[in-house]
Structure 1
Amino acid sequence: MDVLTNPVKDYPWGSLHHIARLTGRPPGGPEAEMWLGAHPAGPSSLVRDGRRRTLDEVIADDPAAELGHETIRRFGERLPYLVKLIAVDSPLSLQVHPAAAQAAAGYAAGDPHYADPWAKPEMIYALSPFTALAGLRPAGQAGELVARLALEPLDPVLAVLREGDGEKGSAAALGALLEWPDDERSALVKAIAEAAGPLGGPAFRLVRRLAERYPDDPAVLAPLLLRRHELAPGQALFLGAGVLHCYVDGFGVEIMGASDNVLRAGLTAKPVDVPGLLGILRPDAQPLPVAPLLGGDFLPPAPEFRLSVYGPRLDHSLDRPVPRILLCTSGSVTVEGGAPEGGQLEGGQPEEAAGGGGRRSETLEAGQSAFLPAKDGRVTLRGAGTVFCAEPHL
């Protein structure tokens, strides 16, 4: 096993305190995500044979030992998932992820909006109250909300919603907003903000908040077109291909397919691809609440990953030869298992000098993480706290 050092992404929508507090560091600027995995855009690092290396390099050197034959047979010589701590202080972009076939086709065609040939299903597990917009509302419900603004410029959008068929009508209305003439956008958003001002309710409050941040983007009406999801700590939500979504605020553990394929349509300073997003958007696709099984296993409908949450009393054995990432979020967990070939124990002690057949023990405190390669064999977790375990869903 290997203790990980993980990169932190300082996107401007990040929190000033969530990640710093969990990892025991003084707060600095906004910290949005901590990545745990082998994604080339931000791989974790570890110490092997006395030198620090990135996890993707370690896997490339010996895929069979690190990933196991079952993982390679299904996904090739790569870690198929990525774990993130995600700390949302301001809403993220309005986005959709492609299905596997769409990703492969887009990448093969050289579409610059497709960074790789893989799908990016994802699941968010709330560590704090977490708010997300995900999945379109039925057109009738969205139309009632838009009508409360009583804005003449929105009459064409309102007509689409009133004539629309369920979520397809909301998708058509979204398309009309996203394709609004550039020279009319500022005036429209200003009018929307003023009309939403006296209206109560979380949807209209969020419209005002978005209008302040994105004064030229008609996508500020997204809270009226999308369903709102409020997750309590311990709840999880799965987002499959084609689900329109936007995280609003909160702190959580996110697990996803190891892909960079995100098509954005608004509420961002990053490049957008409105035709591309509308082309892969599935109007009827909704997020799926995922409840844990008795043992703490979250099993979403995605082969790339599964997530288990163990605690507060820890006494678990992990047996399958698959690559795992452990993340401790409270208390401490002692991990006992086989050491990597040629690896070292804490303090630089060679593993063969420690006895116990080359096995080793490592204790993770809150905010710490470890990679368990497939070759480690049986691993046990003991202690008092909470630990997340990610692995392929095979």
Structure 2
Amino acid sequence: MELLRNAVRPYAWGSRTALAELLGEPSPAPHPEAELWMGAHPGDPSRVLDDAGAEQSLLARIEADPERELGGRTAARWGNRLPFLLKVLAAEEPLSIQAHPSAEQAAEGWRREEAAGIPRDAPNRNYPDPTPKPELLCALTEFHALAGFRDPVRTLALLEAVRTPGLAAYTDLLAGQPDSAGLRALFTMWITLPQQALEGLLPDLIDACVRHVKERGEFTRECRTVLELGESYPGDAGVLAALLMNRVVLQPGEAIFLSAGNLHAYLRGTGVEVLANSDNVLRGGLTPKHVDVPELLRVVDFGCGDMPVTTGELVGRVRVYRTPAPEFELSRVSWSAGERDAVELPGGRPRILLCAGGSVTVRGGDRELVLGPGRSAWVPAADPGLTALPTGADGGELFQATVGGAAGRHDER
């Protein structure tokens, strides 16, 4: 068990305060800070710190002894790779509308682009690796997102509430087929509209949404989303796409799982995200980056309905956020002020621990680490089980990311 030093990614949509304040750095930061990466991603691997202060890349540490670091089963299944990446994500502005491929789609797309000779770092590369990218986002603050397609009956009610002459034909199209196939047809039409048509359609929609908000109509939240996106990305097809998607508001501790094909966009807030260690993203709008509409349509899942929100399953004192993803499992322990009870965290799997609030002492064997806010630790599969407890009287919050599997499984080796 050793401390990690992690990279902060400075994307333009990031916050100048959230990560700085979590890490105890001067706030506001000079530039937007979007993501704190913890793991062995080749683009920015964490650095493992020993007791003498020397550093080694976690990627190099795993490559040198995958059996010890990952455990035999994990190393064999994932080709000596740590299959997950843990992040703290801080969004001040909306991210792109996007979806991720399934394992089969990723492998096929990667082979296709390799055969075509597209460089893996090319801006028009859709599949820089052959692996899927499921995600789980757990809110640290109130977190806003678009995720999945709303029930078409509810979407029709929204479209009628903001009906304009330009929208009428599209509303009637969905009314004639209010199901997943109708959503596919409408989304495809909107995402492929010529720029001139978009610029003729969106101003009237914006005006209709302004009126709806002023009148405090039933779809005020959805209309505010259109207004926010229209201001940040004028003339973008993603503004129309947002009309079809669920607006999700997570409270701290609530989470959403984004499986393959789920169309989504994070809007604002701070959360802990665990995802498969992949860079495969198909974008559909709200971005200056590469958008490949035909490829996006190949992977998007047009299933519809409310987006499930979970608070996890309580196993003793540990809250486990279970998903179908074999690459990762996220769990969380929180202590209120005055609580001092110790929590056992079984060993046997590779883990990253992250303190998201307060201060937490972690003990294992003859090792002891104190993790303050934003600090993290690497725990190899060969290490014994751990005991965690708050350092002081103010409580604490500890996240644990590991490979997927039943909670409490002891031996991955």
Question: By the TM > 0.5 criterion, same fold?
Answer: yes
Q: How far apart, in 2, do the equivalents of 1:217 and 1:126 lie?
A: 28
Shift, 1:138, TM fit: 2.5
Partner of 1:299: 322
Structure 1, unpaired ranges of 5+: 339-358
Which of 84, 88, 93 does residue 90 from structure 1 map onto? 93
Which of 384, 403, 407 does residue 392 from structure 1 map onto? 403
Partner of 1:244: 263
Shift, 1:66, TM fit: 0.7
Which of 187, 190, 211 does residue 177 from structure 1 map onto? 190
Q: Are residues 1:288 and 2:291 paired?
A: no
Structure 1, residues 112-160: CA drift from partner, whole Å, max 9, x if none? 2012111111111111111111111222322222233332222332232
TM-score (norm 2): 0.86
What amino acid maps onto 1:189 in structure 2?
A: L
Partner of 1:269: 288
Q: How far apart, in 2, do the equivalents of 1:140 and 1:379 lie?
A: 50
Secondary structure of the structure 2 residue equivalent to 1:289: coil
What amino acid maps onto 2:358 in structure 1?
A: G
Partner of 1:81: 84
Q: Are residues 1:57 and 2:60 paired?
A: yes
Partner of 1:336: 363
Conservation of the 8 A alpha-carbon contact between 1:204 and 1:223:
no
Identity %: 41
Q: Are residues 1:164 and 2:181 paired?
A: no
Secondary structure of the structure 1 residue equivalent to 2:36: strand
Partner of 2:117: none
Shift, 1:288, TM fit: 3.4
Conservation of the 8 A alpha-carbon contact between 1:138 and 1:169:
no
1:1-394 to 2 correspondence within 5 Å?
1-27=1-27, 28=29, 29-48=31-50, 51-110=54-113, 112-200=125-213, 201-284=220-303, 287-295=307-315, 296-312=319-335, 313-338=340-365, 359-383=366-390, 384-394=395-405
Secondary structure of the structure 1 residue equivalent to 2:229: helix
Secondary structure of the structure 2 residue equivalent to 1:4: strand
Shift, 1:382, TM fit: 2.5
Conservation of the 8 A alpha-carbon contact between 1:10 and 1:31:
yes
Q: How far apart, in 2, do the equivalents of 1:314 and 1:107 lie?
A: 48
Shift, 1:197, TM fit: 1.8
Conservation of the 8 A alpha-carbon contact between 1:95 and 1:265:
yes
CA RMSD in angstroms, aligned pairs only: 1.8
Conservation of the 8 A alpha-carbon contact between 1:138 and 1:170:
no
What amino acid maps onto 2:351 in structure 1?
A: R
Shift, 1:329, TM fit: 1.2
Structure 1, residues 25-64: CA drift from partner, whole Å, max 9, x if none? 1121221111111111221112358632221111111111
Q: How far apart, in 2, do the equivalents of 1:93 and 1:314 lie?
A: 42
What amino acid maps onto 2:44 in structure 1?
A: G
Secondary structure of the structure 1 residue equivalent to 2:309: strand
Shift, 1:211, TM fit: 1.0
Structure 1, residues 84-137: CA drift from partner, whole Å, max 9, x if none? 101111111111111111111111111720121111111111111111111112
Shift, 1:191, TM fit: 2.8
Q: How many residues align?
A: 374
Q: How far apart, in 2, do the equivalents of 1:280 and 1:165 lie?
A: 21
Secondary structure of the structure 2 residue equivalent to 1:311: strand
Shift, 1:392, TM fit: 0.5
Q: How far apart, in 1, do the equivalents of 2:341 and 2:138 lie?
A: 20
Q: How far apart, in 2, do the equivalents of 1:288 and 1:147 lie?
A: 26
Q: How far apart, in 2, do the equivalents of 1:26 and 1:314 lie?
A: 33
Range with bigger deviation, 190-199 or 236-245: 190-199
Structure 1, residues 183-241: CA drift from partner, whole Å, max 9, x if none? 33323223322232211201111111111111121220233211121111111111111
Secondary structure of the structure 2 residue equivalent to 1:113: coil
Shift, 1:172, TM fit: 1.8
Q: How far apart, in 1, do the equivalents of 2:234 and 2:94 lie?
A: 14
Conservation of the 8 A alpha-carbon contact between 2:97 and 2:283:
yes
Conservation of the 8 A alpha-carbon contact between 1:132 and 1:245:
yes
Conservation of the 8 A alpha-carbon contact between 1:188 and 1:218:
no
